[in-house]
Chains A and B, each alone.
Chain A
Amino acid sequence: MYGFIWRRLPGGTAARVVASLLLIGAVAALLWYVVFPWLTPLLPLDAI
């Protein structure tokens, strides 16, 4: 999976590292700001 993405990224090693970091950041931001806020009220985690 990671190897597949790595091979698909364009450019040399440096460009690929930058692109990878951007991808990781984008996925993390999507989880943090969209998925998790939607998910938490649905989970039984509300012990005070």
Chain B
Amino acid sequence: MRTLRAIGELGVAVGLVLLLFYAYLLWGTDSYTEGQQRALQRQLDQVFGQELGHGSGDGSAHGKTGKQPIGKIRLGHALALLRIPRLGVDYKYAIVEGVGPEELRKGPGHYPGTALPGQIGNFVISGHRTTYAAPFKKIDELRRGDEIVVDAAEARYTYRVDRKEIVDPTDLAVIDPVPRHPSRRPSKAVITMTTCHPEYSARQRLIVYGVLAKREERT
């Protein structure tokens, strides 16, 4: 009788810990990402600030360090700033280089090797649909023509949403330079955003495609 009671009480304790863990995954992981984002966005502010300083002739020493070759961003470092007006005026995430678990905990990640912001080809970014601040939670609400604004060190690129689709996780053709056409050479700058689908599941992937509409130099 006593052992039975002890087992029962242990079961209750385990259940409560699991519930708390589930709550942690849904809400607790957000604060980790928010902390990382604050640091990454400061990083970007510095780089962008130096670029601005360089443009207005504010000391050549600053200009030299500010002109980082953007193709050499290290894994986990900030690459550009992402804004999507449809998802709110406050919607702002630093895109990190890399799509490993560690990078995606920090924010949306850029697939290394795919095009950089504004480049001809496919700029592919991936983000969490749930947990870790879930930056791509609502990208299913994007409609054709919606703006996807990417602030890079040298310019601001505005893409416009073109179409959406739902694919299998193994369908890698979505990251081709011309999505779905592996052998075709790209002539346009496009963006591809990928995330899990449906929400709270990893059974499929939701893909949102956009096309570069505008480039504004940062001077």
Contact = CB atoms under 8 A, between A and B. Distances in A.
Interface of A: 1-2, 28, 31-32, 36-37, 39-41, 45-48
B35 to A, nearest CB: 11
B155 to A, nearest CB: 28
25 contacts: A1-B6, A1-B9, A1-B10, A1-B13, A2-B9, A31-B17, A31-B20, A31-B21, A31-B24, A36-B21, A36-B28, A37-B28, A39-B21, A40-B25, A40-B29, A41-B101, A45-B131, A47-B196, A47-B202, A48-B126, A48-B128, A48-B129, A48-B136, A48-B194, A48-B202
Nearest to B205: A48
Interface of B: 6, 9-10, 13, 17, 20-21, 24-25, 28-29, 32, 101-102, 104-105, 126-129, 131, 136, 194-196, 202
Contacts of B21: 31, 36, 39
B34 to A, nearest CB: 14
Contacts of B129: 48
